[in-house]
C-alpha cells in the first residue's frame, strides 16, 4: 500500500505543475529515481521559473513518460 500512496502523491504533484502551465523540459534518471525539470514559460517565450521534482516510484516515472508521449503525438 505504501508504494501506491507514494505514486498518488507524486502523480498529484506532477498534475499540479502541469495544470499551472509548467512543461517538462528535462529528465535526469539515476539509481535514486528521476529528477524531472519543469519550466514555466511566459507569453514572450521566456523561462520564468523552474521546478525540479524528485520522482521515486516506478509508476510515477511511467506516468510522466506517458504525458511526454501524448504531448509528442499531438504535434505529429
Neighbours of 20 (CB within 10 A): 11
Mean pLDDT within 23-46: 91
Structural domain count, the chain: 1
- 24/40 Cα distance (integer angstroms): 9
Find where cell 539515476 sits.
30
Write the CA distances from 39 to 7, 20, 29, 64, integer angstroms: 22, 11, 18, 14
Query: DSSP assignment, residue 1?
Result: -
Residue 14's domain comprises 2-74
Quick one: what percent of the chain has pLDDT higher than 90? 76
The mean-pLDDT minimum among 21-25, 30-34, 49-53, 67-71 falls in: 67-71
Q: Is the pLDDT of residue 75 over 70?
A: no
Mean pLDDT within 7-11: 97
- Answering whether pTM is above 0.75, one says yes
Amino acid at each position: 500500500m505504501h508504494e501506491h500512496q507514494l505514486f498518488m502523491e507524486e502523480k498529484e504533484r506532477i498534475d499540479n505543475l502541469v495544470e499551472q502551465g509548467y512543461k517538462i523540459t528535462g529528465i535526469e534518471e539515476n539509481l535514486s529515481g528521476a529528477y524531472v525539470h519543469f519550466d514555466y514559460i511566459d507569453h514572450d517565450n521566456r523561462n520564468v521559473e523552474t521546478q525540479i521534482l524528485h520522482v521515486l516510484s516506478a509508476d510515477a516515472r511511467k506516468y510522466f513518460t506517458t504525458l511526454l508521449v501524448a504531448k509528442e503525438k499531438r504535434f505529429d
